[in-house]
Amino acid sequence: MVALPAVAAPRASDDARGTVTHCPYCALQCAMSLTPTAGADASAGPPAPGTDPVPPLTVQGRDFPTNRGGLCQKGWTSASVLRTGDRLTTPWVRVRGELRPATWDDALDLVAGKLRALAAEHGPQSVAVFGGGGLTNEKAYALGKFARTVLRTPNIDYNGRFCMASAAAGANRTLGVDRGLPFPLEDVGGAQAVLLLGSNLAETMPPSLQHLAGVRAAGGLVVVDPRRSATAELTADGQGLHVQPVPGTDLVVLLALAHVVLAEGLADTAYLERRTTGLDDLRRCVAAWWPERAEQVSGVPATTLRAVARLLAAASPSRGGAGAYVLTGRGVEQSSQGTATVTAAIDVALLLGLPGRTGSGYGAITGQGNGQGGREHGQKADQLPGYRSIEDDAARAHVAAVWGVDPADLPRSGLPAVELLRRLGTPGGPRALLVHGSNVVVSAPDADRLRERIAALELLVVCDVVPSETALLADVILPVTQWAEEEGTMTSLEGRVIRRRKAIEPPPGVRSELDVLADLAARLGSTVHFGTDPAEVFDELARASAGGRADYSGLSHARLDAEPDLFWPCPATPAGTNPHPGTKRLFTRDFPTPDGRARLVPVDHVGPADDLRPGAPLYLITGRVLAHYQSGAQTRRVPALVRTSPGPYVEVHPLLAERLGVEDGTPVHLETARGGLVARTRVTDAVRADTVFMPFHWSGQGSVNRLTNDATDPVSGMPEFKVCAVQVTRWDGPWDGFEPVDAGLEPVAAGVRGDGGAHAPGTAGA
């Protein structure tokens, strides 16, 4: 038996729970309570240089359906970031190439003046906005509203394009709606079989593993991953199967499963006839992917492919099984054929009659804390609040009425994230960029080229809580509140709308982004109202979402405080009637498509955009580790997490290590079409012999996203982070090893200094 990572937690008693809230990290949104740390001064500023921060709050796990009182390492240490040594507490403005402290008035006057001048000279599209999946619903909504009513720019997108775009596109075109999990996570606990593709839950969302205990006991957990991750290890000892395809061939695995389901008569024919369309076209498509052919491409034995299809079919309700789920994650979605792969996964689920059935279904595991809500309410380039299309005239009229503007004044669709970032500083492209809650120079693909594009901007403004690598390139840095210092709401991976609550005052000098946007709107002469009270902003968001796919109009902060188990859609009801109970489970009666039926959509395999070739004979795949989160801007500032995972590394199979003449700790050089880096090896048979793995949480020399491919999915615009061709060689040249994140960063109290600045001396900050 493989032991589960420890997540059990002492639960605070009801009379001593402190501030009831949720974790600031992933979309699992584990429930926690915060109480003042004994002996700590909650109002104190950052600690002295060289000392570990004393968290002003103590974290306790809280019983909740998703985490059941458990937290992971990141959750337990989350309060440490509140008073990290380089916490931003004052605005900074670049003057002659150097960041210097400034007053809020001076910083905002500079920003407003430059934005006004750029729009006058080059048009509103010369200003771009880039948001983040960690912003509350209220801040994400206000940011989208600000971009479209004050700046009037179409150029707004967010880092959720790196996270959920392919899953969203696949679900929208097949099921009619995108809600990560269209059922509560706890439903998975009763499943007889679960097909998990491209997700390492054991390291990214450890408390979620409690919901896999039942399927493991039944021997029905199937993990598809080219690497034997901690999650794949859970299938050992008869608890399931680890399917280890060639990187970039997950789609082939799914096409073969669909082939077997149809060829062996395992499909739910009554369900397909009653609830779907497109079966004949799908049948013709998957006929070409018999298991033996799929084995030649994916490396997965034909016998294994047949066994997985039969396992899922036996667990499906139509054959008397206890239930089956097909779940996808970033590993199969961050691909130039990510939408096609998600579509194929949904096709398999539909063939087996799973979506809308009790105890069965398809779902996508949202990564970022508010990745779901962030795209529902206005950060995505083509969407208005309520998950409405910005191209739909009726949607434009509805939202414009809530905002008090003419629909004709609203811009149309903008550029998706990767294309937007590629065009920064180019002729006709954005000349200014406002970044909110994202560290793009670490998290975006082909990161070195992105730095070049940022350097070509005339203005970069970053709102953040710490001097991230992106912030240190800015002309203006604005210090904003973080999770335990603000009120708001988040939307979990299940579509559950939850309350984030304020437990502590922010440091003096720090402002909420709601305040910042309202202040900037006034300085830019806008007559559009921007509320600064999160409850008021949520009420406006609810009105704007009314009638949309993601309808929040029946929700409010007050109702969520009283009923903490509400899922969208939750429309408003007429006065005097009972409030809508929310929608825990979608598709129970029909699908939100014009005819109420799901679409079976044929897709085919093309392969990675950057496949193996002479000079690059190995696959490079990327992912996360347990101790860190996303770009690491937060977790790399928590000493306990840094000690657990101090720096980047490259996993190399023993056979490859022997061929390269390296062992544990030997530096190797990785070279792709985008560039190269040096990192230490970790020799392990967890990776395939034709593959190397590197986590992406680090910056500078250790940033693997300097090497990843920015080719995008043609439907979703998601970049192909997860696979590219690489050359790996032993490194015998000079190398000083990995520099920790704080090397070269002085604590804010001593002055923030960048790397010479993104722009020429005397530009925006002069």
Give how far Cα 485 sits from Cα of 46, 139, 481, 500, Å.
15, 14, 6, 10
Helix axes 250-263, 291-298, angle to 10 degrees: 170
Half-sphere exposure of 765 (CA within 13 A, CB side): 26
Tell the CATH topology of 14-83: N-terminal domain of TfIIb (2.20.25)
533 conformational bin, left if phi > 0, alpha if psi -120 to 50, beta if neither: beta
Alpha carbons 372 and 498: distance in angstroms, whole number: 12
Domain 92-163+372-567: assigned CATH number: 3.40.50.740
Answer yes or no: are the C-beta atoms of 76 and 98 closer than 8 Å: no
| Distance separating alpha carbons of residues 108 and 105, to the nearest angstrom | 5
Low-confidence ranges of the chain (pLDDT < 50): 1-15, 740-766
Q: Which helix (H) or strand (E) holds 561?
A: helix 557-562
pLDDT one-digit tens code per residue, 376-415: 998 999 999 999 999 999 999 999 999 999 999 999 999 9
CB of 745 within 8 A of CB of 467?
Answer: yes
CB neighbourhood size of 413 (10 A): 13
Burial class (CB in 10 A: 0-12, 13-18, 19+), 274: exposed
Q: What's CA 524's distance to the chain center, in Å? A: 32
CA distance 269 to 321: 16
Q: What is the pLDDT of residues 323-375, one digit of tens each?
A: 999 999 999 999 999 999 999 999 999 999 999 999 999 999 988 889 888 88
Dist. CA 735–CA 484, nearest whole Å: 41
CB distance 33 to 499 below 8 Å: no
Taking Cα atoms as reference points, which of 723, 693, 699 lies closest to residue 711? 723
The domain made up of 166-364 is a member of CATH 3.40.228.10: yes
State how beta strands 92-95 and 98-101 pair: antiparallel
Radius of gyration, alpha carbons of the chain: 25
Amino acid, res. 331 = G
Per this entry, what is the length of the chain? 766
597 φ, ψ to 5°?
Answer: -110, 150
Q: What is the DSSP string of 504-515?
A: SPPPTT-B-HHH
Residue 628 token pair: 């860190």
Q: At what angle do helices 165-174 and 338-351 cross, to 10 degrees?
A: 40
Q: Which residue has the tokens 């900050």?
A: 765
CATH number for the domain running over 618-730: 2.40.40.20
Q: What is the biggest distance separating any 2 CA atoms in the chain, rounded to whole angstroms?
A: 76
Query: Are β-strands 488-491 and 476-479 bridged in parallel, bridged antiparallel, or unpaired?
Result: unpaired
Transcribe 730-756 into DSSP letters: E--S----PPPTTTT---GGG----SS
What DSSP character marks residue 214?
A: H
Looking at residue 16, its pLDDT comes to 55
Closest residue by Cα to residue 361 from 416, 315, 293: 315
Where are the domains positioned within the chain? 14-83, 92-163+372-567, 166-364, 618-730
H helices of 636-749, in order, are 639-644, 654-660
Q: Are 376 and 542 in contact (CB under 8 A)?
A: no
ω into residue 695 within 30 of 0, thus cis?
no
Residue ranges in 465-509 assigned as alpha helix (H): none
Antiparallel, parallel or unpaired: β 361-364 and 650-652: unpaired
- Give yes or no on whether 92-163+372-567 and 618-730 have one common fold: no
